[in-house]
Structure formats: structure tokens, C-alpha cells
Amino acid sequence: MIFNKNNNGVEEIHNIVGVAYYANNDFVSIRPHIIDETRTIIKHIGREVYDRAEEHYHSDDFNPNWETTEEEEAETDVIENKLVTLVQTAIALMASFRYNQANIMSHEDTGRKIKIDNDHEKLPWEWMYDRDDAAMLRRAFLAIDNLIDFCETEELTEWIDSEKRTACRSLFISSTAEFDRVYPIDESARFFYILAPFIREAQDRTLPGAMTLQVFTDLQQKYTTNAITDEKDKHLLFLVQHYLPLRTIEIACSRLAVSVFPEGVVQQFTAGIGTSGRHTTSVASDETRREYIRHIGKQADNALDDIKRYIQQITADKLNYPIMPKNSPNNRYFMT
């Protein structure tokens, strides 16, 4: 575990999440959520990256106050300390979110109870719970994004060589930035890697048939080796990179829970006006969501048709004959 090294786990969590977890709470109350969310973070960054952070946390070289210290530290120490801080932040925010969701009631021998001082306290409305949960979750998702971006920017070997990162190298959309250029996902690295299997599905199931297997294989080889120099290949890659995010979002909208989407994407298919005119983000009806899937699916179909037409064009140019030859009226037969 990357918390409670000196029996100061509550202080560590409180310093990260603030009033979302009181400093006089017991660490044992949030410990199960810390364990659960540690597993979640490992799924995002890989076991090797987490182990590197945990090893430094428990070493004598870890400096929790590295951001405010006046002492000069080696660059490697700064990287290790920052990695620990980012991992702790992501875990603490997610664990606090889970803790608060499960801590609305107290569980006692005589049943579940809500304890409140009627003279000085008041229970929040349900929309207040929802808004607080949404804000906490946004902070947690941003922390995961920052952690992945740090691993990418610093080119941590454990991340670069990880199974998740390696699997994306053969995708025509292999980075958050490439995806975000076509379909904005709030530049969320966390969400991009959630979408990666769907990008793979959209790429491998539809493109070989649309492009022919030979053209698909050649373009993929050139892309993964940074060898695309021909203008025709560049335009074909442009069409492919325009198509894949649209098809991927179509698949994701039909399979993923709305809670894993970044806020900017959620706004595409959420709606609702709350009590007293307060705006809420209630999930749209099933029909509204299905309509959005049809809408984005139609855009993907049109993008795929553009790829097919371009393949026909460059194939015809290569063979030096028109797609629709001119037939002679003097002949008693026609050509197609």
C-alpha cells in the first residue's frame, strides 16, 4: 500500500482531498476503499509503474514535501517523488469518492441510521449529493489523466513497455491527441485507453475489407514505422483517422456506462432541468441515447464510404483505366 507509512494515512489523504475526508477520521474507515482503488489505478497504469512508485514511497529517499523543500534534489528523485504524489492523489480521490457514497448512513446493531443535529445541521437534497459526487469524480478522473500524462511525458520505461501502451502502437489512432482532433474527449488519457479496445475493433473489423487487406497492411506498416511520405498515403491516413474515432464512439456509447465518460462527452447525450431551475446532468432517456448512437453511426458510415471511394480512385489511377469506361454506340455490346 502506498499510504500510512508512518501511521499518518489520514493526514496524507486529508492533505490531498481536503474536507472531503476529515482529518479526525480513522484510517481504518477508508482503508478498504484505498485497497480497491489501488487495483483500479493499477489497471490504468500497469503493475510495473505502481510497483516503482510503491518501492520509492517505502524507501528512505521519499520526500513527501518535495514541492516546498529548498534543498536541491537530483532530477531522478524529483521524478520519483512526483510519481508517488500523483499515484497517491489518484487513489485518494477515488477512495474518498467511494467512502462518501457509502457513508451516508451509519450501520448499527439496531439497523441503519442517520445522525444529525437538528438545530445546526440539515440533510442535503438529492441533487446536492449528485452534484458533489460529480465534482469529486471529475477531480479523480483528472488526477488519473495527470498521472498517465506524467508517465508519457517522462517516458517511464515501465509505462512505455507496458502491455496497454504497447498495444496501441499498431492502432492508426495511437494517442489521446490524435483522437481528440476528430472527436473531443477533453484530452483525457484515461478515457483514451478505455477506448483503445474499441478502436482496435473498429480498425480490424472494417478497414481491411474497405481498403483491401494489402493496402491496410502496407499503410499500417508505414504508420508504425513513421514512414508515410507519399501524398496518397497521407490522405488515406487522414481519412482513416477521421473515421476511427467516430466508429469508436458509436461502439462506446452502446456498451459503456455514462459514468466513465469525460464531462464533455457526457454533455452530448445528457439533459435535464432540476428543481427551481437548477441545471442538472441527469442521464438522457434510452431513446435519446439510441438517437445519438444512430447519429454518430451515420457519420462513421459516411467516413467509411469516403475511404472506399478514395481506394477506388487510387486503384483506378494505378491501373490506368477509368472506373466507368466510355462505351461505343457502334458496338452491340457494353462494358461495365
Q: Kindly state whether residues 38 and 175 are assigned to the same domain.
A: no
Q: Is residue 280 part of a domain?
A: yes
Residue-level pLDDT at 133: 74
Q: Kindly state whether residues 222 and 307 are assigned to the same domain.
A: yes
Q: Is residue 60 part of a domain?
A: yes
Q: Kindly state whether residues 236 and 144 are assigned to the same domain.
A: no
Q: Is residue 95 part of a domain?
A: yes
Separation CA 298–CA 247 (nearest Å): 9
Q: Is residue 8 part of a domain?
A: yes
Check residues 267 and 59 and name the one with the higher pLDDT: 59
The DSSP code sequence of 78-125 is HHHHHHHHHHHHHHHHHHHHHHHHH-SSEEETTEEE----TTT--PPP
203's CB contacts (< 8 A; 6+ apart) are 171, 172, 244
pTM: 0.82
Residue-level pLDDT at 43: 94
Mean pLDDT, residues 227-232 taken together:
92
Q: Kindly state whether residues 214 and 243 are assigned to the same domain.
A: yes
Q: Is residue 44 part of a domain?
A: yes
At residue 330, does pLDDT exceed 70? Answer: no
Structure letter (DSSP) for residue 327: P
Q: Kindly state whether residues 34 and 149 are assigned to the same domain.
A: yes
Q: Is residue 330 part of a domain?
A: no
Least confident range from 45-54, 117-126, 192-201, 240-249: namely 117-126
Mean pLDDT, residues 81-106 taken together:
85
Q: Kindly state whether residues 194 and 302 are assigned to the same domain.
A: yes
Residue-level pLDDT at 274: 38
Q: Is residue 331 part of a domain?
A: no
Q: Kindly state whether residues 183 and 145 are assigned to the same domain.
A: no
Q: Is residue 173 part of a domain?
A: yes
Residue-level pLDDT at 286: 73
Q: Kindly state whether residues 259 and 235 are assigned to the same domain.
A: yes
How many domains are there within the chain?
Answer: 2
CA 284 to centroid of chain Cα atoms? 21
At residue 271, does pLDDT exceed 70? Answer: no
Domain boundary among 137, 161, 185: 161
Separation CA 242–CA 252 (nearest Å): 16
Q: Kindly state whether residues 137 and 177 are assigned to the same domain.
A: no
Range of the domain at 277: 169-323
Q: Kindly state whether residues 199 and 243 are assigned to the same domain.
A: yes
Amino acid present at 35: I
At residue 20, does pLDDT exceed 50? Answer: yes
Instruction: Enumerate the β-bridge partners of residue 273.
Output: 279
Average pLDDT, the chain: 83
Q: Kindly state whether residues 8 and 154 are assigned to the same domain.
A: yes
Q: Kindly state whether residues 226 and 96 are assigned to the same domain.
A: no
56's CB contacts (< 8 A; 6+ apart) are 62, 80, 81, 83, 84
Least confident range from 25-29, 34-38, 237-241, 283-287: namely 283-287
Mean pLDDT, residues 142-148 taken together:
96
Enumerate the H helices of the chain as residue ranges.
Answer: 9-17, 27-45, 47-57, 75-102, 126-153, 157-160, 163-167, 176-182, 189-211, 213-224, 231-255, 263-266, 286-319
309's CB contacts (< 8 A; 6+ apart) are none
Q: Can you tell me whether residue 270 is helix, strand or coil?
A: strand
